[in-house]
Chains A and B, each alone.
Chain A
Amino acid sequence: DTEVTQTPKHLVMGMTNKKSLKCEQHMGHRAMYWYKQKAKKPPELMFVYSYEKLSINESVPSRFSPECPNSSLLNLHLHALQPEDSALYLCASSHFGQATKETQYFGPGTRLLVL
């Protein structure tokens, strides 16, 4: 089973709202990723967690706040977003520390619209 689930599938929020995106996997992967994807463009890496610790922050604005409460869950907290933050947000997971097994498996994404 290579399933990564994401909720919600769609989200509409105003610029003053606070919302959260959720990602879950049960493959025993110890690396989890958040990506942002604009239409017809490749995904852009935002954050990497390894063993529940933040390993990479790709200079993402502080209005995006990641959280990894346990090895299966990854959250992305959103606050005071801008319309240009509207995009598909993808979560991925992979094994960590075993390079030949580090295939990233992606969830279906959350389509976010900021009004």
Chain B
Amino acid sequence: AQSVAQPEDQVNVAEGNPLTVKCTYSVSGNPYLFWYVQYPNRGLQFLLKYITGDNLVKGSYGFEAEFNKSQTSFHLKKPSALVSDSALYFCAVRVPATDSWGKLQFGAGTQVVVTP
């Protein structure tokens, strides 16, 4: 069975400091990995994805993520956090070899709080 873990319910960081949101996965097969962000009372916004190739993926709003196959991780990072980055972040995985319908398995979510 596929699973995605976001081990931290909440991450607190001061504005200007580096931000990391952790994600680990357990799947059978090669995963496609995604990060989404959700601001209050809004839908999910796509940030970035890893399909294949370079392990370092750059996305929207200065975010990046590194795919680490040996550690089965896909942590989201931003070098310098902004107060406006405060939101709920979701990691998601899909395994095309076992799913033909585009089903995403989401992590539980991590609330990011950036203080001025």
Residues of chain A touching chain B, judged by Cβ–Cβ distance below 8 Å, are 2, 4, 6, 31, 33, 40-43, 45, 48, 50, 55-56, 90, 92, 94, 96, 99-100, 102-109, 111
Given A90-B43, A106-B45, A108-B43, verify A42-B108 contact (CB < 8 Å): yes
- Tell me which residues across on chain B come within 8 A of A41, comparing CB atoms: 108-109
Q: What's the Cα separation between A104 and B43 when bound, in Å?
A: 12
Q: What's the Cα separation between A100 and B102 when bound, in Å?
A: 11
Q: What's the Cα separation between A101 and B40 when bound, in Å?
A: 27
Q: Count of chain B residues with Cβ under 8 Å from any Cβ of A?
A: 25
> From A96, which residue of chain B is reached at the shortest CB distance?
B102
- Tell me which residues across on chain A come within 8 A of B52, comparing CB atoms: 100
Q: What's the Cα separation between A94 and B94 when bound, in Å?
A: 13
User: Which single member of A50, A99, A105, A109 contacts B46 (CB below 8 Å)?
Assistant: A105
Given A108-B43, A111-B41, verify A56-B49 contact (CB < 8 Å): no
User: Which single member of B32, B34, B36, B88 contacts A99 (CB below 8 Å)?
Assistant: B32
Q: What's the Cα separation between A82 and B18 when bound, in Å?
A: 44
CB distance from B30 to the nearest CB of A (A): 10
Q: What's the Cα separation between A105 and B49 when bound, in Å?
A: 12
Given A42-B90, A45-B104, A96-B102, verify A104-B109 contact (CB < 8 Å): no
> From A99, which residue of chain B is reached at the shortest CB distance?
B96
Q: What's the Cα separation between A31 and B104 when bound, in Å?
A: 13
Query: What are 9 residue pairs bridging A and B, where the CB atoms are less than 8 Å apart in the complex?
Result: A4-B43, A42-B108, A43-B44, A99-B96, A100-B51, A103-B34, A103-B46, A105-B46, A106-B36
